[in-house]
Amino acid sequence: EESGNVAGCHTSSIKQQNEKLVSRAIGNNMLLEVCVDTPRAAAVAVAHGAGRVELCADLAYGAGGTTPSYGAVAAAAAALRRKQQLPRGGQLHVLVRPRPGNFVYDEDELAAMLEDVAAAKRAGASGVVLGALTRDGRVDVAACAPLVAAARPLSVTFHRAFDFVADPASALEDVIALGADRVLTSGRATTALEGAPAIAALVRQAAGRVCVMPGGGITAANVAVVRELTGATEFHASATKWVRDDTITVVGSATLASASCVQRWEGDACSTRACDVDKVVALVAALKHQ
- The tens digit of pLDDT for each residue in 192-239 reads 999 999 999 999 999 999 999 999 999 999 999 999 999 999 999 998
Cα 201 to Cα 5, 229, 231: the distances in Å are 20, 10, 10
CA distance 70 to 90: 17
Mean pLDDT of 176-188: 98
pLDDT of residue 149: 98
Between 274 and 106, name the one with better pLDDT.
106
| pLDDT for residue 254 | 61
pLDDT in tens, 235-290: 999 988 888 777 777 666 665 555 544 444 455 667 778 889 999 999 999 998 76
Distance CA 33, CA 126 (A): 13
- Condensed to tens digits (0 to 9), the pLDDT of residues 112-151 reads 999 999 999 999 999 999 999 999 999 999 999 999 999 9
Q: How far apart are alpha carbons 280 and 22 in whole angstroms?
A: 16
pTM: 0.85
Mean pLDDT to the nearest integer, 56-75:
90
Burial grade of 50 (CB within 10 A; 0-12, 13-18, 19 or more): buried
Average confidence (pLDDT) over 167-180: 98
Amino acid, res. 124: G
Lowest mean pLDDT among 9-23, 43-57, 73-87, 219-233: 9-23
Going by C-alpha positions, the residue among 180, 86, 161 that lies closest to residue 125 is: 86
Q: Can you say how many angstroms the Cα of residue 34 is from the centroid of all Cα atoms in its chain? A: 7
175-to-122, 131, 146 alpha-carbon distances in Å: 25, 9, 13
Alpha-carbon torsion (77, 79, 83, 85), positive or negative: positive
| Inter-residue long-range contacts of 140-145, CB under 8 Å, 24+ positions, other chains counted | 140/104, 140/105, 141/174, 141/177, 141/178, 143/105, 143/110, 144/178, 145/178
Q: Which of 5, 4, 7, 6 is nearest to 287 (CA)?
A: 7
CA–CA dist 140, 120 (Å, integer):
22
**Nearest alpha carbon to residue 279 among 26, 45, 71, 2:** 45
Contact between residue 36 and residue 42 where contact means Cβ atoms under 8 Å apart: yes
Mean pLDDT along residues 53-82: 91
Q: What pLDDT shows up at residue 242?
A: 80
- For residue 271, the model assigns a pLDDT of 74
88, pLDDT greater than 70? no
In whole numbers, what is the pLDDT of the chain averaged over residues?
A: 85
- Asked if residue 142 lies in contact with residue 107, where contact means CB atoms within 8 angstroms, the answer is no
pLDDT at 243: 81
Report pLDDT for 27: 53
For range 172-189, the mean pLDDT: 98
Round to whole Å and give the CA distance between 166 and 41: 35
| Helix or strand (DSSP H, E) at 158 | strand 155-158
Q: Would the pLDDT of 62 be above 80?
A: no
Average pLDDT rounded to a whole number, residues 162-171: 98
Percent of the chain with pLDDT over 70: 80
Instruction: Calculate mean pLDDT across residues 23-42.
Output: 81
pLDDT confidence of residue 63: 78
Model confidence at 7: pLDDT above 60: no
Confidence of residue 12 (pLDDT cuts 50, 70, 90): very low
User: How far is Cα 210 from Cα 5, in angstroms, rounded to an integer?
Assistant: 10
